[in-house]
Structure 1
């Protein structure tokens, strides 16, 4: 449901439950003066503003590659938007000026997912040219922010999403209580270190920060591309400020009305199907290190062995060996494809997964299998803090948790609850801060037509959720792409072309399907 895939230093993963882009630097000069718009946007009725942000002073980003024209700045915004005159907090922002200033349309606001995807830091490291090709890069300033609580925006530092070795798939009431204790301990540690910031990293607060950024840039209306969790942020913005939108793409849509159980089960179903497609690919393609073997049986054998005796994994933080649950919970980050990034970084996710399974099976080395997984401890604190405020697990006790896990095993016999929806529930099992926006529809009225894009085989944000979200946003249209992987824009040239054309022209695509590549 979010974009959490590759990482670069402390930048969140690139698109998907935090953008799967985190794997993703400047001129020694002063900030570039804002260019004039190619044409003024038609006037819209002004909506009340909760409070102005401080103006942004732009300067070259310290992280940027030599000569790369990205600028960074800081906004000061209310910590609590209900108290605009109260305490303020810093939000890091970044922009990459359009290459074709003579035909510049405006600013394109990008959110890479999450929760907690650090869009400004990604731009600062020079990833705009990787993510945005051709007309988008030419005609828009690419802009983003590090959401409050992340990266350069007064980041939370309270430990990982899941502590190394903690119970995450409880098998009895005692383990369930241990899972809750771990959750509460992380939350109390976060409150002790960061106080009220922990209570105000919710999605609605970030949407208001984004509107303050829009105003600071002098943009009358917002042009937005949000992926994975960024679709919920975008929909929340549209709900709050429908008349301030020029064009909006929500790709890899998250339905906030799903509820914890339905989200987990829909993810589990598609994740199982994605593993089955991986196994079929292995049987057909000699590039698979398990070619000639049954990849499913190899995976089952490795997990069963690790359940009996933990397998050595020298790369797993704080743990020299890992059990079967570690391997299970790392699977989503190993299996889910994000082809645009794979191409840019020169690797193939499925080929890597096959190599890592082979190493675990033949050499008893599970290091590669748990890299980037929820147990490894490299996900950042904001991921949990935001999730607990907006996607609470709503457990009623061990019997409820056990019933959900049993449903997941029935839905997906091999992969079970090894999905992000369950990771969030486990991490938030007893979070000490009350949710600010528990599961409910994101109803939008009065916005211009919004384009939603979803994949037929997206295990992170399943197509079913996209269909439901379309019903909640009046006048929206749904672009369906027949492809494996998370987020249409990252996996389909057809989807990129249609989303790009819409963002430039604001006209909906004539065809709302993209065939398999």
Structure 2
């Protein structure tokens, strides 16, 4: 599967959606007493529980668990229940081919005061949620309180992890030379990704064509029914917010409380998605520049935000004109690196500012400054061969492309890329040029999210560039709910930061929540 911009976006865990024909009915349009009329024979829906997979210490460490935390992680694993449920591949043919969906459950500690089942999704599309009940509780003490009164439900969506999958053949996409991307190089990338999309989509069209958010929502409702729950609670992050919106739209009578963090667009077009992110990254850099200017004595990049902006923009242009080649690094550094750093979150600002200064004050042939090496990072240790899958690129590509109506040709894709560069001088290359879904051979399956039932909180991050805050407001207009504002620039931090997690847990346990939280503090 090509590592296109769509895949890169998915790694950041995000997808939005778009309109469904008005005449199309969904299972949620039926009354609660009419479940027998819904697609498929639900009388035999059941979870087949089995022994959970064994994880080595090396595998646990690969999931960002430090040695001192491994015993606590294992204690939760020992409580985890693992199972599978069979669902129709195609809900229009419920008695046809069946596929398995992997499910986990961490039962509530206080069964006498149990509030129900809380399903979890970490984002994607393509992210594995199998071990999310354990990982959520490991984040902080407030999250741990969720398991006092809730059964926490993890699952791998269709196409991911322990669930049914259909991996695409690998593809080879040419890597452009350092410096500004030329139209000729972009065309080579486009042609390679276009061909790879056709090959992928045709490799198992019957399966890949059924990888949609709506089908995942149908699968989730089968899980709800198999658990014996009349209603389901849901916590979704990034693309998980789109899954939550679709589930609540399709099954309005089956939702109790839902919390969606780093909210997706309510209508998805890949070009709109990329434009929104690039503009948000440029705004984020203005904040970064103001922070650096306030510390001019430390970084020497300018005494005002405008001066820092100009200094960094000039550095980007200089690196594009003459790439930096250090004598102890294997690759040349160009202006694209500046675009990436400029859009990053505030916890990295001190390191980024030091790297800007080091790049400006060093020259070709020098050893790479320590600050630059620090930002480039060290290679990650290899993932153990027996580690369970955490992300599936094929599913990411298929879900995005099955729902994206744009599928731009080269001329339009190139024009859109050039416009992003012009509008966002520093961060225009925050997302690289890609063919995205061009050539994807399967039909577009659009969906329009709408108002549903239950209590809904939309958690938006005021300064975020991955899921811009305005998307939260657009989603509220489309589906309703209460906006909860996190005053940071981090993606999906509401479950990670204690000052936000306490509010999220309060919502699930009492139904009440404040107007927002601080989130990750600016350095």
**Which interval holds the TM-score relative to the shorter structure?**
0.7 to 0.9
CA distance in structure 2 between the aligned counterparts of 1:75 and 1:359, rounded to whole angstroms: 55
1:123 Cα deviation (Å)? 4.4
Q: Does the CA contact (< 8 Å) of 1:283 and 1:293 recur in 2?
A: yes
Aligned length: 449
Range 47-56 or range 463-472, more displaced: 47-56
- SS of 1:234's equivalent in the other structure is helix
Q: Which residue matches 1:31?
A: none
Structure 1 residue 89: Cα displacement: 1.9
Partners of 1:72 and 1:225 in 2: CA distance: 19
Work out the CA distance in 1 between the residues paired with 2:178 and 2:52: 43
Asked if structure 2 preserves the Cα contact closer than 8 Å seen for 1:161 and 1:381, the reply is no
Tell me which residue corresponds to 1:428: 437
Gaps of 5+ in 1: 1-11, 19-42, 338-347
Counterpart for residue 449 of structure 1: 455
SS at 1:72 equivalent = strand
Corresponding residue of 2:243: 233
- Confirm or deny: 8 A CA contact 1:272 1:414 kept in the other structure: yes
Distance verdict in 2 for CA 1:314–1:180, change over 3 Å: farther
SS of 1:483's partner is coil
Q: Is 2:394 the partner of 1:389? A: no
Higher gyration radius (CA): 2
Distance 1:351 1:100 in 2: 44
After TM superposition, the structure 1 = structure 2 runs for residues 214-253 of structure 1, keeping only pairs within 5 Å, are 214-253=224-263
C-alpha spacing 1:428/1:322, structure 2 compared with 1 (3 Å): farther
Matched, 1:479 2:484: yes
- CA deviation profile, 1:342-366 (whole Å, cap 9, x unmatched): xxxxxx5445555766776754487
Indicate how the Cα distance of structure 1 residues 135 and 128 shifts in structure 2: closer, same or farther if over 3 A, else same.
closer
Relative to 1, partners in 2 of residues 1:396 and 1:158: Cα closer, same or farther, differing over 3 Å? closer
Mark the runs of 5 or more structure 2 residues left unpaired by the alignment. Answer: 1-9, 16-30, 61-72, 303-307, 380-390
Partner of 1:200: helix, strand, or coil? Answer: coil
Pairing 1:437-516 to 2, within 5 Å after superposition: 437=446, 441-445=448-452, 447-474=453-480, 476-487=481-492, 489-490=494-495, 493-507=498-512, 509=513, 511-514=514-517
Change (3 A) 1:98 1:313: farther
Contact 1:76 1:90 in 2 (8 A): yes
State the partner residue of 2:415.
Answer: 403
Deviates more, 1:183-192 or 1:210-219: 183-192
Answer whether contact 1:483 1:491 (CA < 8 A) is retained: no
TM-score by length of 2: 0.73
Structure 1 distance, partners of 2:515, 2:417, is 36
- Work out whether residues 112 and 227 of structure 1, in 8 Å CA contact, stay in contact via their aligned partners in 2: yes
1:6 corresponding residue in structure 2:
none
Match of 2:47 among 49, 55, 67: 55
Residue number in structure 2 paired with 1:21: none
Give CA-to-partner distance per residue, 1:226-276, whole Å, 9 cap, x none.
111111111111111111001111221112325333332222222112223
In the TM superposition, residue 415 of structure 1 has moved relative to its aligned partner by 0.4
Q: Which protein, 1 or 2, shows the higher relative CO under an 8 Å CA cutoff with sep ≥ 6?
A: 2
* TM-score for both structures, normalised by structure 1: 0.74
Secondary structure in structure 1 of the residue aligned to 2:315: helix
SS of corresponding position for 2:487: strand
